[in-house]
């Protein structure tokens, strides 16, 4: 395992971190009091959020498994990855292809330290401390580990909604997509506000407001806005849908709750015309 580090300020454990709040939501151990305080606020609004976090992880597992096992993708770039723990991208990809290469990008220093310890013996998985909002710098670093002239699975799972300016978010996604070879895939999940008067819309609006108050800005976008990240790409069936509806492994046993309707996901192929590889 190799790492690429960038200078970072000393970690402020009094301020919550998206990566650590997500870890707390998943029942992990790499979080602190400030992160648990945010988790409690989330649970006050949507007590089923931990189950939804598992739904998101299960969708990511299915998507990476499909790309690796069925389509032969053997390189993945996971942006804003958070902690590379159980059933994350490298675990799934390397289960089906032990030599699949995975690069995680996250500028949270706690994530980097945890990842370096976890992946010290894994020669095919790397951690970059670059800022994903700087695609040119990030891609220059990533090129040392994966071949951008060959198909790559680009993973943006529960990340883009933290870029609150829509135009900036679109340009960031477009920059990465345009740098990849034809036949690469975009794997994207984004928080969603159906804005239809349902309880799901109320939950989405409440969570967006609460996240903003904690300093962890999160934008729950419309279906059309989320679909814009796939413009020009070939969406695989079943299209842009809720995570539990994207090729589930079997019949659903747990009842659906409003929070199940607050994310949309999709997997799309990057065609020849979209690939520029000019970064």
Residue extents of the structural domains in the chain: 12-245+255-274
Beta bridge partners of 187: 155, 267
The pLDDT assigned to 10 comes to: 59
State pTM to two decimals. 0.92
* Cβ contact 274:178 at 8 Å: yes
> Averaged in consecutive runs of 10 residues, what is the pLDDT profile of the chain (279 residues)?
48 82 85 91 94 95 98 97 84 96 92 81 92 97 96 98 97 97 98 97 97 93 98 97 96 91 98 61
Give per-residue burial for 38-50: e unless 16+ CB within 10 Å, then b.
Answer: bbebbeebbebbb
The pLDDT assigned to 187 comes to: 98
The pLDDT assigned to 6 comes to: 46
Query: In terms of DSSP H, where are the helices of 143-252?
Result: 166-178, 199-213, 223-227
C-alpha 2/C-alpha 156 separation (Å) is 21
The pLDDT assigned to 71 comes to: 97
* Cβ contact 111:124 at 8 Å: no
Q: For 12-245+255-274, CATH number?
A: 3.40.50.150
The pLDDT assigned to 252 comes to: 87
């Amino acid at each position: 395992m190799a790492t690429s580090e960038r200078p970072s300020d000393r970690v402020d454990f009094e301020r919550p971190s998206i990566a650590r709040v997500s870890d707390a939501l998943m029942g992990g151990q790499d979080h602190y009091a400030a992160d648990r305080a945010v988790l409690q606020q989330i649970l006050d609004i949507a007590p089923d959020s931990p189950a939804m976090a598992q739904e998101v992880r299960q969708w990511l597992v299915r998507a990476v498994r499909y790309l690796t096992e069925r389509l032969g993708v053997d390189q993945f770039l996971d942006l804003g990855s958070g902690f590379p723990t159980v059933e994350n991208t490298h675990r799934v990809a390397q289960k089906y292809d032990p030599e699949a290469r995975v690069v995680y990008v996250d500028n949270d220093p706690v994530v980097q330290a945890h990842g370096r310890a976890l992946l010290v013996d894994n020669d095919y998985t790397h951690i970059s401390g670059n800022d994903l909002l700087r695609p040119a710098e990030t891609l220059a670093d990533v090129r040392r580990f994966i071949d951008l002239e060959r198909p790559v699975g680009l993973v943006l799972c529960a990340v883009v909604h933290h870029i609150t300016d829509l135009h900036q978010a679109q340009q960031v996604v477009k920059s990465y997509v345009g740098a990849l070879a034809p036949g690469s895939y975009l794997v994207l999940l984004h928080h969603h506000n159906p804005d239809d008067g349902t309880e799901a819309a109320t939950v989405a609006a409440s969570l967006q407001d609460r996240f903003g108050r904690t300093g962890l800005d999160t934008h729950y976008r419309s279906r059309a806005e989320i679909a814009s990240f796939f413009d020009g790409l070939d969406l695989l069936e079943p299209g842009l849908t809720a995570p539990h509806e994207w090729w589930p492994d079997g019949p659903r046993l747990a009842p659906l709750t409003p929070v199940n309707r607050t994310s949309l996901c999709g997997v799309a192929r990057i065609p020849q015309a979209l690939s520029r590889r000019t970064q």
